[in-house]
Amino acid sequence: MTAPRATRKRTFEIRENLPAPNSAEGALFHYTPDEAAQWTPFRGRTLRNMATKHEIEHSRNGRVIYFTGEQIVALAQRHVVKPFQKPAVARAA
């Protein structure tokens, strides 16, 4: 006999009218990982795991993980892929 499977999915409440992290108001605003996920290439659970493993900068209030707007912008900038440019070929004289 196996244990019954969980039927309820865990949902997280995302506040409305959040300031953008790159705005003056959002620079020091505290976002939950699920709220920060909309501005990063990661999901909320991934951000939570990375913060727990100390792979990324975060703010912690007891056991609750938060990200400031500055930390979100820095994380997004770290994962920007710039286009490849061929180096100029030097011609022999």
What does the pLDDT average to over 7-30? 85
Model confidence at 4, pLDDT cuts 50, 70, 90, reads confident
Task: Report the number of distinct structural domains present in the chain.
Answer: 1
In a domain? residue 60: yes
What is the span of the domain harbouring residue 36?
30-78
In a domain? residue 93: no
CA pair distance 33, 42, nearest whole angstrom: 9
In a domain? residue 19: no
Q: Taking Cα atoms as reference points, which of 22, 12, 7 lies closest to residue 47?
A: 12
Question: 72-92 pLDDT, tens per residue?
Answer: 999 999 988 888 888 888 777
Q: pTM for the full model?
A: 0.74
Return the pLDDT at 42: 93
In a domain? residue 83: no
In a domain? residue 12: no
